Structures are given as structure tokens and as C-alpha cells.
């Protein structure tokens, strides 16, 4: 108990919880009592009500039974039917039963009185009145019956009926009263319950007020005091709750201690604060120093950036004009100049300007060696001048303006002036430091200009080499060790062209495939490339191949390229050798043809001679053979002579003795000779002009016409007319030789002047010949400045026409 | 004498190897037993044709001649030959074309072929061998050797019969 009291004192919450529990307990007990009372009230009310209801019911039954009995008695008397009499006795039993039932229920004096009355009437009615009347009725004495009724029978019945009704009403009243009483009791008990709740509420209110006083007020006082303390620090009045043992008391003590501790620390903090302030001032001073340094550094950086931009601009381009423009732009920015110009002192006076009109620039360039610049050329040092601007430079300013011009030389390592820079500004004059800086920059510029010069020279050389390289008749390709294409000249691209741009750096497999696709024999060329690029063979390798579409014969050689000892690539050189190949082919064909032509008569001569030597033969056979040998030998001689003639003429080694020659006697002499050998041909010579002289070699002209006339005879084996016509046409002397012989097939016409060409025709084949006669004719005519043509129709004959120029006669050849 | 006794090269199996030896065949004896061998000479050069005809006629063969390919084909259609001496270069149809035509139209009547040519390039010879000629002789040729070759080729089959 003591302990509980102690804990109540020390703990506000315990106190509060206890009071709350008490309140709740009172409420619960009150409610329980109220409910129990209510229930008992209802139960007793219900019991009373039940009893009354039973009484009421029995009363009603009694009433009904009596009434029935009365009706039955009257019915019996009226109709005399025994059924009614029996029913009367039945009713008598029922009523007796009912009366017995009612007896235990009679609780009130009134009930007992009614029971007594009922019993009395019962006995009187059923034992006196009814038996008498029945007897009288059964005797047939109706008067007696009536008499009995009038003598109190009917009255008794009526009075009893009224008595029953009264009793029944009293019962109903009782029930009503009972209900009213119950209701009243209920209301009273409810009012009592409400009163209990009201008391509890009042109690609670008192309790809350107590709590407010005990907790709220001290807290409020604490808050005010704490606020004061926070605002003012010292001097805050602290409410005294120290004597309390509960939480408030503890809070109060703790707060007090805290305040004291804060008081203590405050002084310390103040001291520290002062120290910090001092330090801050020092830091601020340092910061401003640093800021100044930073600004300086930034200025330096900007300056450097501009210089870098200048140097970068110089390095970025290899075009002189571009470089100069970059230099002057950046220089103006560095030197803070409004305008500037740089002129290279090369032959072309390449220049670049900043902020200058084209006119000003022209004027400057014209005056280059007359003006102040001359001083620069002499002293080779930068200098600055101040001058008044002429009217045209002032623009819209009225007052005289001054410009500061800085002249800077760009000196080469040999101290030659490579370029002149002039910078102008309107504001401040150029200081000596600035002039020195400009001079310094001039050195950088000089290096850049020298580099440019070198580049230009190298570029010129490179272009020259490239031009030569591209205009070579050989296609040249350079590949590295992996076979990747590194260089290809124009000719090469022209030949293998389609992918004009794609060649640079094209991998081996790709260019090989593209090149080989153009060749007739792809694989061989591919193998050649493989061997040349990856093979170990160090020596030059060569091969020939043919291009499919162009029908061109190519020769390619590959050679390894060395830098020192190490191989670094392979060079391919392609050459168009179509002409050479053609010449070779023709040469070998000629050799083959000549050898064939020579072997054929030789075979005859040799064979026949051996036969003659080894076999005894009849004399006529011997003569036949010797004759044949002679013919073949002659043919061989003619062939050799003709061939040598052709060779000589074609090579231009034939010697001609030029003199005026009359063609007619030559032709006539030949005709005469031919006439001797035939009797189936007729000859005629028609001379239709008087000018039959040309300048020529009479011996060769004889050979020419002899060949033509002889052919005419030979190729008209069935004879016919042979006509030679000499006439003048378009300033030329023409000679036609016409025959009526075999003629020349159209397809053979273009070839008949070719060496060893002979028309394949059995008729012609029987006719001997070297196949060189017409070639000789052509060559001789050509040497005389003329030409030979032919018109022919097969089986009708041919006409050969030789034209010679009348004048001027050809110059002596050889 | 070489005209009457005909020598030819032959291969005879002897033990484990081949022995090259002379074999003599008596032409006259066999000629009596058989019909005369028939030869067609195709040559466009008159003199050479005459030479060949005379040489082979002297040897006892029956010889026909043709001056060009067309004529040769006509002759070949008319009768069977045992041998054809064919010039390589002929007007109209070349020697090779004549061979081709025979192979194409009547291969069963293909005679033995000696090809003559003044063209001596290896390419020409190669083509001739490829066309299936039995021998190739360059012009100019020695008549004796030519005759010897003809005899050899015509009796090659008999030679084989003898050796077997």
C-alpha cells in the first residue's frame, strides 16, 4: 500500500491510470446492476401477466359453457329433442371442470368471491332449476316450466351472466394496471442509470481539471521560461517545481542543470568565436591575393592561347595565303591591333590583311619600297610610329585622329627579311615590350614561312614526279608486303579502270581478283601475282597475258623493292606489247611462209635429183626429171629474187635511179616479149595522152609492168584480150592493165597485195607463182609516189590501175 | 639391195625387255599372194606429185593422184585405199580438213596416212599427230626414206602377224 502511494507520488502517469480505472469500474458496476434490475422487472411482469391471462381465458370459457347450457335448455324446451338435453349435461361437466381449474388461480379476495358465486349458481341451476323444469317439461306441464322460469330462473341466469361479465372486465382492468406499474418501474430505473452516468462525467471532468493543473500548467511555465532563456540567455526566471518527485520535478531539475551548463559553455564559445573571426579576416586577405594572381594567370593563359592559336594556324595549312591570313588575324588579336597586313617578300608578294580595304592593300603594296617600310629593310628591327590619319581614313570622325603603326620584320635565320608585318591601332601607342614581343613572334612566323617554302618546293617536285609517273606508257603498281595496293599510276588505272577511286589501300585479294577478271587466263596471272608478292624469288619475273575485252597483249614484270636489306614491297610494271607481239607473230609467220615457199621447190629438186642419181632410168624419164628440176630451180631463183626485192623495198633499202622515163616504150617492149609466149591472147596498147613521161627508175617500172602483164596472161589461161591503156586523170598518169581471165573473188581482193597471198582456187593453183609479184608492184608504185588499185569480177577478168603523179615528181629516195 | 629387200623397224618381246631389231619381210613373195596395195597421193605441187607417183609406182603399188582436198575426197568416195599420202597445205581443204572429213563421213574407210609438209613448226606437227596420222615427213624429203616409210607402214599389220 505504501509502495503504491509512493509510486503515485512519483509518477503522474500511474496516478492518471489509477483514476481512469476507478471511473471505468464504477461505470461497469452501475451498468451491470441496471441491467439485472431491468431483467427481473420484466420477468415478474411477465409472470403476473400470464396468470391474469389464464384467469381471463378460463372466465371466457366458463361464460361460453354457461351460455351454451342456457341455449341447449331452451332448445330442448322449444323442440324437445333429447340431443339438447344430453348437451346440457355435457356442459355441466365442462363447467364443473373449469371451476376446478380456476380454484388454484384465485389469489385475490375478489377471485374467491367470484368462484363462490359461480359455484353457487352452478349448483342451483343444474341441480334445482334444470331438473325441475325438465321434469315439468317431460310431464308436459308447460305452465310449470314457465312458472319455474318466471319464479327466478331467468332472473338468476341473467344476474349470473352480468356477474361473469363484471368479473371479466375486472380482470382486464387488472392487466392494464399491471402493465402501467411495470412501465413506471422501468422509467425509474432508467432515470437512475442516467444519473449514474452524469455523476461519472462530473467525476471525469474534475479529474481532467486536476490533470491540467498538475501537468499542463507547469509545462506552460517551462515553455515560457525556456523561451525566455533562449531569447535572453541569462536572467530567465525558472519556476520552482523541484520539490515535486514526479516527472515534472525531474524535468525541472534537469533543465536547471542544462541551463547552468550552457551558461558555463557560452563564455568559452565566445572566446573561440573571436579567434575564428580573426582567422577569417586573415583568410579573406589571402583570398584577394590569390584572386589577383589568378586574374594574372588568366591573362597569361589568354595570351598563350592566342599565341598557340597563332602557331597552330601557321601549322594547320600548307597554303601560303591561308597561313598568312591566319597569322595576321591572330597577330592583330595578340597585339590588340585594329588593322594589320603581312606581305611575304617573295616574288609574288603574297599578302594577307586584317581590317583593310582592297584599295588600301593595293596602295600599300605599290608603295612597299618607297615608304617607311624601307627603314625596316635597312634596320631589320621593329619600330613604331604615330601619325595623323588622313581624311579618307577618319570615317565619320571630325577631329584629327592618330594611329600608331608598328612595323615588324620577319627575319630568316640568315637575317634576310622574309616578310613585313604592319599593325595599326588607334588607342594606346605600342610599347617597347610589345615591339620586342612582335619581333619575337616574327621569328616563329619566319620558321613557318620557311616550312612553307620547303613544302612548296617539295610539292612542286612531287607534282612533277607524279605527272611523269602518271604519263608513263607503262602501268605501274606498288604493293606492300601484305600485297595491299599502295600506289598506282594513271596508266594503270586507265587500263584496269572501273574502280577509279577504290584502288588506294585496296587489299591484295580484291585488286588481284579485279585485275585477273580482265585477263584471258585468270589463273596464270593470279599465280604470277601470288609468286611475286609472297614468293621467295628475289629476281625479276616476267609474264605475258591478254586482256579479254580490249584484245590487248600485255607484259608484266614484277620486282621486289628493298630498303636496305629488308624487302618492303613489290613493284609491278605492265606494258602494252600488242604491237610488238603482232610484229613477232608476223615475223614468225613470214619465216614459216618463206621456209614453206622455199622448201616446196627444193623438195622437188632434191627428190628428182636423188632419183636420177640412184636409179637407172629411161632417157625420156631422165629428161622429164631434169626439165622439172630446171623449172623448180628457176622458180626458186625467181622466188628468192622477188623476196629479196620485197624485203629491200619494204625496208626502204631499194636503190632507185631517178630519171625522166617514158612509160610507153617500156610497156610496148614487155608486150612484145609476152606475145612470144602465147598464141591465144591478143594484145593492145592504147595511149590517150601525150604526157607519158614520169620521173622514175626505168628498170623498176619495167619490173612493175612486166609483173602486171605477165599476171594478166597467166591468169587468163583460156586466152582473151589483154589491153593496156595509158591516160591522164586528175593530174595523174594512169595505166590500166585489163584481162578477160579468171578474175579475183571479192573476199580475196583486200589481200592480193599482201606478201605470199595467193587465191585458193584450183584453176589458179595450177598456175605457178611466188605470191610476191603484186607486192612488188605495190611497193614500186609507192616508191614513185603513186598507187595501184584493182577492179575485178570473177570469171570475167581484172583491171589493175597504176597511178603516177605527173608533177611534182617524187624526190630521190635513199 | 634396199629396193628389193624391205627393212623396217619393229619391236619384239624378248625375255623381260624389248629388243630393237631388224626384221626382214619379203615383199615380192607376199605381193604374189595379195592384191596390189592402193595408194592415193594428194599433192598440189605438180612436180612433187609426179615424183611421189613415180616413186611408188616403181615400188609396185597402184597409185592415184589428187591435186587438192576436194579432189582427194572425191577419190576417197570412189574406192578404198590402203594408204594416203597427204600434203599438209592444200588449196580449198587443208590436209587436216581432209582427214576430218574422212573421219566424219566414213571412218570405216579410213586408210593409213602419211602426211607431208613443208611447214615444220612443232605446232603443225602436233596438230597432224593429234589428227591421227601414221607418219609425218618433212619436205624436202629423201625419196629412198619416203619409200621405205611407205613400205613399213603398209606392212606393219603383217609384221605384227609374223611376230605373234
In a domain, A269, yes or no: no
Task: Say how many CB pairs under 8 Å bridge A and B.
Answer: 77
Distance CA A124, CA A156 (A): 9
Distance CA A375, CA A382 (A): 10
* Nearest-neighbour CA in chain A from B11: distance (Å): 30
* A355 burial type by CB count under 10 A (0-12 exposed, 13-18 middle, 19+ buried): middle
Distance CA A5, CA A605 (A): 171
- Identify whether the C-beta of residue A804 lies closer than 8 Å to the C-beta of residue A733: yes
| Judgement on whether residues A484 and A436 belong to the same structural domain of the protein | no
Candidate from A385-399, A423-437, A705-719, B120-134 with smallest mean pLDDT: A385-399
- Identify whether the C-beta of residue A713 lies closer than 8 Å to the C-beta of residue A672: no
* Nearest-neighbour CA in chain A from B85: distance (Å): 15
Nearest Cα residue in chain A from B121: A592
Question: Mean pLDDT across the stretch A62-75?
Answer: 86
| Judgement on whether residues A532 and A679 belong to the same structural domain of the protein | no
User: Cβ of A603 and B139 within 8 Å?
Assistant: yes
pLDDT digits (tens, 9 = 90+) for B91-141: 777 888 888 888 887 777 778 899 988 776 778 888 888 888 889 988 888
Nearest partner of A484 among A573, A565, A568, A541, judged by Cα: A568
Interface of B with A (CB under 8 A): 44-48, 50-51, 54-55, 58, 67-68, 70-71, 89, 91-92, 118-121, 138-144, 146
pTM of the full structure: 0.46
User: Cβ of B143 and A596 within 8 Å?
Assistant: no
pLDDT digits (tens, 9 = 90+) for A734-783: 999 999 988 888 888 888 888 877 776 555 555 667 778 888 999 999 99
C-alpha atoms less than 13 angstroms from C-alpha of A638 in its C-beta half-sphere: 16
- Identify whether the C-beta of residue A66 lies closer than 8 Å to the C-beta of residue A72: no
Question: Mean pLDDT across the stretch A452-476?
Answer: 88
pLDDT of residue A537: 63
Residue-range domains of chain B with CATH: 35-152 (3.40.50.2300)
CATH number, domain of A779, equals 3.30.565.10
Q: A371: pLDDT confidence band, cut at 50, 70 and 90?
A: low
User: Cβ of B92 and A608 within 8 Å?
Assistant: no
| Residue with grid cell 515535486, as numbered in its chain | A244
Residue A789: pLDDT above 90?
Answer: yes
| Judgement on whether residues A352 and A496 belong to the same structural domain of the protein | no
Q: Which domain holds residue A346?
A: 317-460
CATH number, domain of A543, equals 3.30.450.20
Distance CA A343, CA A311 (A): 18
Look at chain B and count its residues: 164
- Interface test mutation site (partner A, options B67, B124, B140, max chain A beta carbons within 10 A): B140
Which of A595, A596, A614 has its CB closest to that of B89? A596
In a domain, A566, yes or no: yes
| Secondary structure of residue A95 in the 3-state scheme | helix
- Identify whether the C-beta of residue A665 lies closer than 8 Å to the C-beta of residue A694: no
Residue A728: pLDDT above 80?
Answer: yes
* A725 burial type by CB count under 10 A (0-12 exposed, 13-18 middle, 19+ buried): middle
| Chain B residues whose beta carbon lies within 8 Å of the beta carbon of residue A616 | none
Residue A576: pLDDT above 60?
Answer: yes
| Judgement on whether residues A173 and A133 belong to the same structural domain of the protein | yes
* Beta bridge pairs of residue A561: A569
In a domain, A622, yes or no: no
| Secondary structure of residue B21 in the 3-state scheme | strand
Q: What value, to the nearest 5°, has the Cα angle with vertex A583 and ends A581 and A587?
A: 115
| Judgement on whether residues A682 and A798 belong to the same structural domain of the protein | yes
Distance CA A620, CA A606 (A): 19
Which of A596, A614, A765 has its CB closest to that of B91? A765
| Judgement on whether residues A421 and A321 belong to the same structural domain of the protein | yes
Work out the mean pLDDT of chain A and round it to a whole number: 85
Q: A705: pLDDT confidence band, cut at 50, 70 and 90?
A: very high
Counting residues of chain B whose pLDDT is more than 90, the rounded percentage is: 18
Distance CA A88, CA A66 (A): 9
Any CB–CB contact under 8 A between A602 and chain B? Answer: yes
| Grid cell in block for residue A24 | 471505468
Distance CA B82, CA B60 (A): 14
In a domain, A299, yes or no: no
Nearest partner of A20 among A210, A214, A247, A207, judged by Cα: A207
Q: B13: pLDDT confidence band, cut at 50, 70 and 90?
A: very low
In a domain, A250, yes or no: no
CATH number, domain of A416, equals 3.30.450.40
User: Cβ of A606 and B118 within 8 Å?
Assistant: no
| Judgement on whether residues A721 and A751 belong to the same structural domain of the protein | yes
Question: Mean pLDDT across the stretch A611-615?
Answer: 88
Counting residues of chain B whose pLDDT is more than 70, the rounded percentage is: 73
Residue A615: pLDDT above 50?
Answer: yes
pLDDT of residue B126: 86
In a domain, A77, yes or no: yes
pLDDT of residue B100: 86
pLDDT of residue A517: 84
| Grid cell in block for residue A465 | 614526279
Nearest partner of A488 among A459, A497, A540, judged by Cα: A497
Candidate from A483-492, A731-740, B22-31 with smallest mean pLDDT: B22-31
In a domain, A623, yes or no: no
State residue A191 phi and psi, 5-degree precision: -60, -40
Domain's final residue, options A438, A460, A482: A460
- Interface test mutation site (partner A, options B43, B72, B143, B150, max chain A beta carbons within 10 A): B143
Distance CA A716, CA A718 (A): 5
Domain's final residue, options A541, A576, A611: A576
User: Cβ of A765 and B50 within 8 Å?
Assistant: no
* Nearest-neighbour CA in chain B from A465: distance (Å): 47
| Judgement on whether residues A393 and A494 belong to the same structural domain of the protein | no
Q: A456: pLDDT confidence band, cut at 50, 70 and 90?
A: confident
pLDDT of residue A681: 92
| Grid cell in block for residue A267 | 563564455
- Laid out side by side, the sheet with A552-563 consists of A485-488, A475-480, A566-576, A552-563, A541-547
| Judgement on whether residues A549 and A490 belong to the same structural domain of the protein | yes
pLDDT digits (tens, 9 = 90+) for A532-541: 888 876 667 8
Nearest partner of A414 among A438, A443, A436, A373, judged by Cα: A443
pLDDT of residue B2: 38
| Judgement on whether residues A708 and A738 belong to the same structural domain of the protein | yes
Choice between B107 and A673, residue whose per-residue pLDDT is larger: A673
In a domain, A16, yes or no: yes
pLDDT digits (tens, 9 = 90+) for A322-368: 888 888 888 888 888 888 999 888 777 888 899 888 888 888 888 77
Any CB–CB contact under 8 A between A595 and chain B? Answer: yes
Which of A606, A628, A761 has its CB closest to that of B50? A628
State residue B79 phi and psi, 5-degree precision: -155, 170
Any CB–CB contact under 8 A between A599 and chain B? Answer: yes
Residue A233: pLDDT above 70?
Answer: no
A407-422 burial, b at 16+ Cβ within 10 Å, e below that, comes to bbbbbbeeeebbbbbb
Question: How many domains, chain A?
Answer: 4
| Judgement on whether residues A195 and A139 belong to the same structural domain of the protein | yes
| Judgement on whether residues A534 and A414 belong to the same structural domain of the protein | no
Question: Mean pLDDT across the stretch A170-176?
Answer: 90
* Nearest-neighbour CA in chain A from B84: distance (Å): 19
User: Cβ of B139 and A600 within 8 Å?
Assistant: yes
Domain's final residue, options A460, A481, A514: A460
Question: Mean pLDDT across the stretch A653-681?
Answer: 90
pLDDT digits (tens, 9 = 90+) for B40-69: 999 888 889 999 999 999 888 999 999 888
pLDDT of residue B14: 40
pLDDT of residue A812: 43
Any CB–CB contact under 8 A between A633 and chain B? Answer: no
Q: Any long-range contacts for A631-639 (C-beta under 8 Å, 24+ apart)? A: A631/B47, A632/A601, A632/A602, A632/A604, A632/A605, A632/A608, A632/B47, A633/A601, A633/A605, A635/A601, A635/A768, A635/A770, A636/A598, A636/A601, A636/A602, A636/A605, A638/A770, A639/A597, A639/A598, A639/A601, A639/A770, A639/A772
Amino acid at each position: 500500500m505504501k509502495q503504491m502511494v509512493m509510486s503515485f507520488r512519483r509518477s503522474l502517469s500511474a496516478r492518471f491510470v489509477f483514476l481512469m480505472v476507478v471511473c471505468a469500474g464504477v461505470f461497469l458496476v452501475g451498468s451491470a446492476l441496471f441491467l439485472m434490475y431491468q431483467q427481473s422487472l420484466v420477468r415478474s411482469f411477465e409472470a403476473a401477466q400470464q396468470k391474469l391471462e389464464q384467469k381471463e381465458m378460463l372466465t371466457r370459457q366458463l361464460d361460453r359453457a354457461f351460455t351454451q347450457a342456457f341455449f341447449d335448455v331452451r332448445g330442448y324446451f322449444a323442440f324437445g329433442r333429447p340431443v339438447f338435453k344430453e348437451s346440457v349435461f355435457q356442459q355441466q361437466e365442462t363447467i364443473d371442470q373449469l371451476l376446478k381449474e380456476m380454484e388454484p388461480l384465485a389469489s385475490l379476495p375478489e377471485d374467491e368471491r367470484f368462484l363462490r358465486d359461480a359455484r353457487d349458481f352452478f349448483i342451483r341451476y343444474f341441480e334445482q332449476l334444470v331438473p325441475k323444469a325438465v321434469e315439468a317439461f317431460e310431464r308436459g306441464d308447460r305452465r310449470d316450466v314457465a312458472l319455474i322460469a318466471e319464479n327466478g330462473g331467468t332472473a338468476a341466469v341473467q344476474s349470473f351472466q352480468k356477474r361473469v361479465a363484471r368479473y371479466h372486465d375486472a380482470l382486464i382492468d387488472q392487466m392494464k394496471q399491471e402493465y402501467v406499474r411495470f412501465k413506471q418501474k422501468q422509467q425509474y430505473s432508467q432515470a437512475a442509470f442516467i444519473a449514474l452516468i452524469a455523476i461519472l462525467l462530473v467525476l471525469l471532468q474534475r479529474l481532467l481539471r486536476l490533470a491540467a493543473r498538475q501537468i499542463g500548467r507547469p509545462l506552460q511555465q517551462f515553455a515560457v521560461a525556456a523561451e525566455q532563456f533562449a531569447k535572453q540567455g541569462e536572467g530567465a526566471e525558472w519556476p520552482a517545481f523541484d520539490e515535486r518527485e514526479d516527472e515534472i520535478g525531474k524535468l525541472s531539475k534537469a533543465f536547471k542543470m542544462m541551463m547552468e551548463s550552457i551558461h558555463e559553455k557560452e563564455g568559452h564559445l565566445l572566446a573561440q568565436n573571436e579567434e575564428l573571426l580573426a582567422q577569417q579576416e586573415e583568410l579573406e586577405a589571402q583570398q584577394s591575393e590569390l584572386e589577383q594572381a589568378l586574374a594574372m594567370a588568366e591573362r597569361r593563359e589568354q595570351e598563350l592561347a592566342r599565341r598557340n592559336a597563332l602557331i597552330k594556324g601557321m601549322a594547320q595549312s600548307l597554303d601560303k595565303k591561308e597561313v598568312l591570313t591566319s597569322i595576321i588575324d591572330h597577330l592583330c588579336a595578340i597585339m590588340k591591333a585594329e588593322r594589320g597586313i603581312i606581305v611575304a617578300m617573295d616574288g609574288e608578294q603574297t599578302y594577307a590583311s586584317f581590317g583593310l580595304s582592297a584599295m588600301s592593300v593595293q596602295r600599300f603594296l605599290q608603295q612597299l619600297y618607297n615608304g617607311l617600310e624601307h627603314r625596316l629593310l635597312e634596320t631589320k628591327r621593329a619600330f613604331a610610329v604615330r601619325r595623323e590619319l588622313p581624311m579618307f581614313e577618319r570615317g565619320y570622325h571630325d577631329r584629327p585622329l592618330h594611329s600608331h603603326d608598328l612595323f615588324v620584320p620577319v627575319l630568316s635565320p640568315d637575317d634576310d627579311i622574309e616578310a613585313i608585318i604592319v599593325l595599326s591601332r588607334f588607342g594606346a601607342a605600342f610599347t617597347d615590350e610589345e615591339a620586342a614581343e612582335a619581333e619575337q613572334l616574327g621569328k616563329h612566323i619566319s620558321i613557318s614561312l620557311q616550312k612553307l617554302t620547303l613544302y612548296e618546293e617539295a610539292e612542286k617536285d612531287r607534282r612533277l614526279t607524279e605527272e611523269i609517273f602518271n604519263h608513263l606508257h607503262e602501268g605501274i603498281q606498288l604493293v606492300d608486303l601484305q600485297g595491299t595496293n599502295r600506289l598506282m599510276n594513271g596508266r594503270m588505272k586507265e587500263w584496269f579502270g572501273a574502280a577509279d577511286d577504290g584502288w588506294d589501300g585496296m587489299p591484295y585479294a580484291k585488286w588481284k581478283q579485279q585485275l585477273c577478271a580482265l585477263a584471258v587466263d585468270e589463273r596464270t596471272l593470279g599465280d604470277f601475282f601470288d609468286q611475286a608478292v609472297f614468293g621467295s624469288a628475289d629476281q625479276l619475273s616476267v609474264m605475258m597475258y591478254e586482256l579479254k575485252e580490249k584484245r590487248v597483249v600485255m607484259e608484266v614484270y614484277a620486282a621486289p623493292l628493298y630498303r636496305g636489306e629488308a624487302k618492303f614491297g613489290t613493284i609491278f610494271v605492265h606494258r602494252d606489247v600488242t604491237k610488238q607481239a603482232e610484229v613477232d607473230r608476223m615475223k614468225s609467220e613470214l619465216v614459216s611462209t618463206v621456209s614453206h615457199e622455199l622448201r616446196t621447190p627444193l623438195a622437188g629438186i632434191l627428190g628428182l635429183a636423188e632419183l636420177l642419181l640412184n636409179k637407172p632410168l629411161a632417157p625420156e624419164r631422165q629428161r622429164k626429171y631434169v626439165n622439172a628440176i630446171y623449172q623448180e630451180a628457176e622458180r626458186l631463183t625467181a622466188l628468192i629474187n622477188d623476196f629479196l626485192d620485197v624485203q629491200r623495198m619494204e625496208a626502204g633499202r631499194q636503190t632507185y635511179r631517178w630519171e625522166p622515163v617514158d612509160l610507153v616504150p617500156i610497156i610496148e617492149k614487155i608486150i612484145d616479149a609476152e606475145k612470144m609466149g602465147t598464141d591465144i591472147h591478143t594484145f593492145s596498147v592504147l595511149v590517150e595522152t601525150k604526157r607519158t613521161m614520169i620521173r622514175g627508175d626505168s628498170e623498176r617500172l619495167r619490173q612493175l609492168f612486166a609483173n602486171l602483164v605477165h599476171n594478166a596472161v597467166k591468169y587468163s589461161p583460156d586466152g582473151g584480150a589483154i589491153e593496156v591503156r595509158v591516160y591522164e586523170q586528175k593530174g595523174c598518169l594512169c595505166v590500166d592493165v585489163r584481162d578477160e581471165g579468171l578474175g579475183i573473188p571479192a573476199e580475196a581482193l583486200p589481200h592480193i597485195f599482201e606478201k605470199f597471198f595467193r587465191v585458193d582456187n584450183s584453176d589458179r593453183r595450177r598456175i605457178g607463182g611466188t605470191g610476191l609479184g603484186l607486192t612488188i608492184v605495190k611497193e614500186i608504185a609507192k616508191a614513185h609516189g603513186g598507187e595501184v588499185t584493182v577492179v575485178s569480177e570473177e570469171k570475167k577478168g581484172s583491171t589493175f590501175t597504176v597511178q603516177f603523179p605527173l608533177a611534182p615528181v617524187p624526190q630521190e629516195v635513199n | 639391195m634396199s629396193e628389193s629387200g624391205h627393212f623396217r623397224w619393229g619391236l619384239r618381246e624378248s625375255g623381260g625387255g624389248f629388243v630393237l631389231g631388224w626384221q626382214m619381210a619379203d615383199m615380192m613373195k607376199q605381193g604374189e599372194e595379195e592384191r596390189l596395195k592402193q595408194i592415193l597421193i594428194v599433192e598440189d605441187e605438180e612436180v612433187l606429185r609426179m615424183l611421189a607417183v613415180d616413186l611408188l609406182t616403181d615400188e609396185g603399188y597402184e597409185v592415184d593422184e589428187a591435186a587438192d582436198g576436194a579432189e582427194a575426197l572425191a577419190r576417197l568416195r570412189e574406192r578404198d585405199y590402203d594408204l594416203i599420202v597427204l600434203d599438209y597445205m592444200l588449196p580449198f581443204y587443208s590436209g587436216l580438213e581432209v582427214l576430218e572429213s574422212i573421219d566424219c563421213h566414213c571412218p570405216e574407210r579410213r586408210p593409213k596416212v602419211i602426211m607431208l609438209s613443208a611447214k615444220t613448226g612443232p605446232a603443225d606437227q602436233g596438230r597432224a599427230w593429234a589428227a591421227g596420222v601414221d607418219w609425218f615427213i618433212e619436205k624436202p624429203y629423201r625419196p629412198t626414206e619416203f619409200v621405205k616409210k611407205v613400205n613399213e607402214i603398209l606392212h606393219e599389220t603383217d609384221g605384227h602377224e609374223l611376230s605373234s
